[in-house]
A and B are shown apart, each in its own frame.
Chain A
């Protein structure tokens, strides 16, 4: 089966660091993507991991452990505009993406 799990909601304070976890069990794996989605809008690409380890991109970093079926997205120096849903998606390698349920992040002043 295909299963991607993320926490439903998280809350953090402006300026803080937050880590959003994603665990997956899928029949194929060729990469893990993170997207940001503001309410009523389309998902926008944040980062991806194909190999194990940490990928850093400005205030955002993403980590992957393929053996553990685990990834996380790290957001530093949180800003109010970071309040959004964060979607973890596994790319199966046959032009098919499976999305997790998304994590709604609220950033408080």
Chain B
């Protein structure tokens, strides 16, 4: 069964550094998402991306964050000048983008656990 993959599984960085989190969505999916989940808290939507453009973004997704699809398979989240409060699990998800409820179902990757020291 096709799946979303993410690398690295864990990332430790110093405050102020830049990190790039990588995702490979399911190959025939057209919509890509990033979420974060701070330990013990809810899953928070960051951004959705389609056709090389951001479709929607939340208030969390400020100038510190950017997304890119550098080639036909990867989807990346860049976090500039990391802060302690950026420590969280970051999930990538993808969907077909065909809205028939179940077909729009998102498939989540296993996540990258980011720790900012």
Report if A99-B105 is in contact (Cβ < 8 Å); known contacts: A42-B91, A94-B55, A94-B56.
no
**Does B31 interact with chain A (Cβ within 8 Å)?**
yes
Tell me the residues in window 93-107 of chain A with beta carbons closer than 8 Å to chain B beta carbons. 93-102
> Once the chains bind, are A33 and B105 in contact (CB under 8 Å)?
yes
> Once the chains bind, are A50 and B107 in contact (CB under 8 Å)?
no
Chain A residues lying within 8 Å of B42, measured Cβ to Cβ, are 87, 99-102
Q: Mark A25-51, 1 if CB is under 8 A from B, else 0.
A: 000001101000100011111001010
**Does B45 interact with chain A (Cβ within 8 Å)?**
yes
Give the secondary structure class of A's interface.
loop
**Does A60 interact with chain B (Cβ within 8 Å)?**
no
What is B's interface to A at a CB cutoff of 8 Å? Answer: 31, 33, 35, 41-45, 48, 50, 55-56, 58, 91, 97, 99, 101-102, 104-111
What are the 5 closest A-B residue pairs judged by CB atoms, nearest first?
A: A42-B108, A95-B48, A96-B56, A99-B43, A95-B55
The 14 sampled A-B contact pairs (Cβ below 8 Å) are A31-B104, A41-B110, A42-B110, A42-B111, A43-B43, A45-B106, A48-B101, A48-B105, A93-B99, A94-B56, A95-B33, A96-B55, A97-B33, A101-B41
Given A43-B43, A99-B43, 19 other A-B contacts at CB below 8 A? A31-B104, A37-B43, A41-B111, A42-B108, A42-B109, A43-B91, A43-B108, A44-B108, A48-B101, A50-B101, A92-B56, A95-B50, A95-B97, A96-B56, A97-B45, A99-B42, A99-B44, A101-B41, A102-B42
